């Protein structure tokens, strides 16, 4: 019975199992995937599961207090390679398809990532990192190696969110010979190499890198081909854009990739490109489709979207890829002239897929607002999808979920703004409820028809939850996503306020005297901006936010180019513009009780952004509280320590309860 279900709680984040990264075997009889669950307040477990289509349920293949991920079937289907930290550092391991214990393949000092089998099965390609002239085949480094040593910094890009200080290390491609078990570093130089994939001849590899002298300042990403026998390297693109996630046609005559030419800097839509590896001729085949290629959906269950390369059909006349439009992420088929046909286009979120070219079917990971995510088999568009897993059945059956209602707002200048409204759990007609406005980060991202635990938890606390995609969001074309650049706090702000006004007018159960607002990253910036420009909200929670663009320029891992891209100024040539767009400038106008939450290891929006805002508010005796989360980065809400994720939600709920 529905009335026997309980409300969603902050602690439920520990109960949800997250599945991702499906990979079909070459015979098409089974697929492997990763399932992540909470181990304790500090750690997660990630294990590999195998699902034979003749079996009703998947079988768990790896066990223990470990993080196993990136499963990759050998071309003949006899082995499954994967990455695991079971030896302490993430290394390559392999298991027989018949079962048995995993065998360790690498012992590199800084670990490995992104494995890919050669088509002949003789090699495993992967990435690793190293400093110049460093012996990465020696013993593993001590975790305390750098704690008592100064950090020598000689380059602009010396740190990054998720990786911390680079300490001179660069990402290189490496080959493991499966017969001799010897590893050879394939690339070299003071450059980072990514997204490497084999050609059908098992000799050439296409990869992405910025090998230009100004690579620290420039944001371009080129495609290269390297010959694994001679190490000869050919550059395919001409440093005019960002190209990655390449895949070879089955005959090796063409390469498909995802990219753009930075026409709108970081707000440029991704497109699908076809490149002739011999002539280097390239053409954009989705140029007529005003849609973001790839997964732009945001959720608090997945940190970052899967970087899926375009997949070639068996006939080599069609490609498959994901794209994000109008709050949905689906799978699409395209011929080489740019004619696009939906394969799966529903009100949900495809967070990954694997395609079998010979048997012509997909395994797709799909989430919607009532399901954190499961796998489905999709044979043909007209046949729909067949559900294969039900990994969160116990959780879903035990809780009352609020199903979002689509809402549409008309901006002041006539632009259409899409959003969703969630009624409070156990909603009762005739009652009046406070409203919370949620604002996503990015800003070039997209709220979507996907599961969002935080939103469900707030609805369970008795709030109406409103979340929208204001201009600057993905999913509505190039003009829309570019529209906030140079105008942060302008029409993106009025889009949000207009949406609030219109849902209040439309829904008579909203108490317009009890409004709250929260958001993270860009959403945290906008939360700070809102409370500095209106007193209509009675409580606010700002998370991993930006408060001062002038200092952000020099402290964020992306600040030196992001401020120019998004605000339109650099600190050395127009500090006034950066200050005009900084919420800190308007701190004297903030009267809304503001909870500031920030991770101490955030390299994207560093802690000083929160400290400046809190210090100013405290000095002015404004109602505020500051929560610092130890050993937590920018993705605290998505992949931080489970216990801290729960604490974050509890404090958010308590703050709104106190002030609303």
Phi/psi of residue 237, each to 5°? Answer: -115, 170
DSSP string, 375-432: EEEES-GGG-EEE---TTHHHHHHEEPPPPEEEEEE-TTS-EEEEEEEPPTT--TT--
Report how far apart, in Å, the C-alpha atoms of 489 and of each of 418, 484, 538, 546, 638 are.
19, 8, 20, 12, 26
What is the token pair recorded at 531?
A: 């409370």
Q: Is the pLDDT of residue 2 over 70?
A: no
Q: Are strands 59-60 and 44-52 parallel, antiparallel or unpaired?
A: antiparallel
| In the chain, ranges of CATH 3.40.50.1820 domains | 401-547+582-659
Confidence of residue 569 (pLDDT cuts 50, 70, 90): very high
Confidence of residue 190 (pLDDT cuts 50, 70, 90): very high
What local confidence, expressed as pLDDT, does residue 624 receive?
98
- C-alpha 598/C-alpha 586 separation (Å) is 20
17-28 pLDDT tens trace? 999 999 999 999
614-631 pLDDT tens trace? 999 999 999 999 999 999
What local confidence, expressed as pLDDT, does residue 141 receive?
46
Catalytic residue among 581, 634, 637, 659: 634
Residue among 469, 601, 473 nearest 544 (CA): 601
Concerning whether 20 is annotated as a catalytic residue, the answer is: no
Let me know if 181 is exposed, middle or buried by CB neighbors in 10 A (0-12, 13-18, 19+).
exposed
User: Class for domain 401-547+582-659, per CATH?
Assistant: alpha beta
Concerning whether 598 is annotated as a catalytic residue, the answer is: no
**Averaged pLDDT of the chain:** 96
269-292 pLDDT tens trace? 999 999 999 999 999 999 999 999
pTM for the predicted model, two decimal places: 0.97
Phi/psi of residue 588, each to 5°? Answer: -65, -20
363-376 pLDDT tens trace? 999 999 999 999 99
Show the DSSP H helices in 187-282 as ranges: none
Catalytic residue among 25, 367, 521, 582: 521
């Amino acid at each position: 019975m529905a009335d026997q279900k309980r409300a969603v709680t902050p602690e439920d984040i520990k109960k949800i199992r997250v599945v991702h990264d499906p990979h079909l075997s070459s015979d098409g009889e089974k697929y492997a995937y990763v399932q992540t669950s909470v181990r304790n307040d500090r750690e997660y477990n990630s294990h590999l599961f195998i699902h034979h289509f003749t079996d009703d349920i998947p079988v768990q293949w790896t066990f223990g207090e470990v993080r196993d991920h990136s499963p990759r079937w050998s071309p003949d289907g006899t082995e499954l390679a994967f990455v695991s930290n079971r030896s302490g550092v993430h290394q390559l391991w392999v298991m027989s398809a018949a079962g048995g214990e995993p065998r360790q393949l690498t012992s590199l000092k800084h670990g490995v990532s992104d494995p890919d089998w050669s088509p002949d099965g003789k090699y495993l390609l992967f990435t690793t990192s190293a400093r110049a002239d460093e012996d990465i085949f020696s013993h593993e480094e001590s975790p305390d190696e750098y704690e008592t040593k100064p950090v020598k910094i000689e380059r602009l890009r010396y740190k990054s969110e998720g990786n911390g200080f680079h300490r001179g290390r660069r990402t290189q491609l490496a080959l493991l010979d499966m017969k001799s078990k010897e590893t050879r570093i394939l690339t070299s130089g003071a450059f980072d190499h990514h997204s490497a994939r084999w050609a059908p001849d098992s000799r050439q590899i296409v990869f992405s890198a910025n090998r230009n002298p100004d690579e620290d300042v420039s944001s371009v990403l080129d495609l290269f081909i390297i010959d694994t026998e001679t190490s000869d390297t050919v550059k395919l693109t001409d440093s005019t854009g960002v190209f990655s996630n390449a895949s070879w046609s089955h005959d090796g005559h063409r390469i498909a990739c995802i990219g753009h030419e930075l026409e709108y800097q970081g707000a440029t839509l991704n497109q699908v490109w076809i490149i002739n590896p011999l002539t280097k001729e390239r053409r954009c085949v989705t140029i007529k489709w005003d849609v973001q290629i790839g997964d732009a959906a945001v959720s608090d269950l997945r940190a970052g979207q899967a970087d899926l390369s375009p997949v070639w059909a068996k006939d080599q006349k069609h490609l498959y890829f994901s794209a994000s439009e109008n709050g949905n992420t689906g799978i699409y088929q395209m011929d080489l002239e740019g004619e696009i046909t939906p394969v799966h286009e529903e009100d949900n979120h495809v967070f990954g897929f694997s395609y079998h070219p010979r048997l012509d079917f997909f395994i797709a990971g799909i989430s919607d607002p009532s399901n954190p995510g499961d796998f489905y088999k999709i044979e043909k568009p007209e046949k729909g999808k067949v559900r294969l897993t039900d990994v969160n059945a116990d959780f879903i059956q035990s809780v009352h979920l609020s199903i979002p209602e689509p809402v549409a707002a008309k901006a002041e200048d006539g632009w259409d703004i899409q959003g969703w409204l969630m009624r409070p759990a156990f909603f009762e007609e005739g009652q009046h409820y406070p409203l919370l406005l949620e604002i996503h980060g990015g800003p070039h991202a997209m709220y979507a028809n996907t599961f969002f635990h935080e939103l469900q938890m707030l609805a369970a606390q008795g709030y109406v939850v409103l979340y929208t995609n204001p201009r600057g969001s993905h999913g509505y074309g190039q003009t829309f996503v570019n529209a906030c650049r140079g105008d942060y706090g302008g029409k993106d702000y009025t889009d949000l306020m207009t949406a609030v006004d219109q849902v209040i007018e439309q829904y008579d159960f909203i108490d317009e005297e009890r409004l709250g607002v929260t958001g993270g990253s860009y959403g945290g910036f906008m939360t700070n901006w809102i409370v500095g420009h209106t007193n209509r909200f009675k409580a606010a929670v700002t998370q991993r936010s930006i408060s001062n663009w002038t200092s952000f320029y020099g402290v964020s891992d992306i600040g030196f180019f992001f401020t120019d891209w998004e605000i339109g100024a650099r600190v050395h040539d127009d500090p006034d513009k950066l200050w005009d767009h900084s919420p800190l400038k308007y701190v004297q106008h903030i009267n809304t009780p503001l909870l500031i939450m920030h991770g101490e290891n955030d390299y994207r929006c560093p802690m000083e952004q929160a400290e400046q805002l809190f210090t100013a508010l405290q000095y002015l005796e404004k109602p505020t509280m500051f929560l610092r989360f130890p050993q937590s980065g920018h993705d605290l809400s998505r992949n931080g320590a489970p216990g801290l994720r729960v604490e974050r939600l509890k404090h958010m709920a308590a703050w709104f309860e106190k002030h609303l």
